[in-house]
Amino acid sequence: MFRIVLVFLLMVCLPAHVQAQNKVPILIYHSIDEYNGVGSKELYVTPENFEKQMTYLKNQGYTLLTFERWKDISKIKKPIFITFDDGYKNNQKAFEILQKLTDHHFKPTATFFVISDFVGRRNRLSQSELRDMAATGVISVQSHTATHPDLTKVENLQYELKSSKEKIEKMTGKPVIALAYPYGNFNERVGSEVKKYYQFGLTTTPSLYTKKGLKNELLFLPRMYIKYSTGLDEFIDILTK
């Protein structure tokens, strides 16, 4: 009985930041650019706002990880993952901002989830751009499938999953271990196929990651959207939800 009471008191009395240490934010971005009237405005974040958000993380002692360093989340006080979907060419601006903020103590990294068959299109990053950014160690290039379909409606999952992985690995010369589900859509069949080729699967389920010990939970990781309308105060709130 005493132990139960002690555990309860520790949970209540510990500072909030200590209780929240096991909650890991995985943020999702799309375009880093001024909105030009094309497409969904909320899928843009201006370079100015992105820099403010990354500067906040730097000043607050966060460590920006990629999925190659997943095991480090238990060793780091404030781990966080910054991810970008679709491989837009304007993501270069995010890369430049992360480089600008890099110093001896702060070494930010991020993950670009690219659609392998769209690489090199007019508004998408090219093979050489992805290779060069991956070579710096700042950007990890991972898969967003081959053609960005709803995987729950696709019969030939092998092409979308295996082919995409192989193409991106050939582009960058680095392992591809994570996949972001297009539209955030998945089911048990999709998860079983993803497990054959990837260690991690990223959804758009809005939540911070907390280890629950569930079967295959790393294949269905949650992510929090950062949008055009996300001000710095809301950004800070998202990190601690």
Q: What are the tens digits of pLDDT across the range 181-225?
A: 999 999 999 999 999 999 999 999 999 999 999 999 999 999 999
Question: Comparing C-alpha atoms, which of 91, 95, 11, 108 is closest to residue 56?
Answer: 108
Q: What is the mean pLDDT of residues 142-151?
A: 98
Whether 56 has a pLDDT exceeding 90, the answer reads: yes
Whether 15 has a pLDDT exceeding 80, the answer reads: no
Whether 11 has a pLDDT exceeding 90, the answer reads: no
Whether 2 has a pLDDT exceeding 80, the answer reads: no
* C-alpha span between 42 and 204 (Å, rounded): 15
Give residue 153's pLDDT band: very low, low, confident or very high (50, 70, 90): very high
Higher pLDDT, 7 or 158: 158
* C-alpha span between 129 and 119 (Å, rounded): 10
Residue ranges of domains in the chain, CATH in brackets: 19-239 (3.20.20.370)
* C-alpha span between 225 and 36 (Å, rounded): 20
Share of the chain above pLDDT 90, in %: 88
Maximum alpha-carbon separation in the chain:
66
Residue 22's pLDDT is: 79
The pLDDT mean for the chain works out to 92
Residue 156's pLDDT is: 86
pTM assigned to the model: 0.90
Q: What is the mean pLDDT of residues 116-143?
A: 98
* C-alpha span between 201 and 120 (Å, rounded): 24
Lowest mean pLDDT, pick from 5-19, 69-83, 122-136, 219-233: 5-19
Q: b/e per residue, 38-68, with b = 16+ CB within 10 A?
A: eeeeebbbeeebbbebbeebbeeebbbbbbb
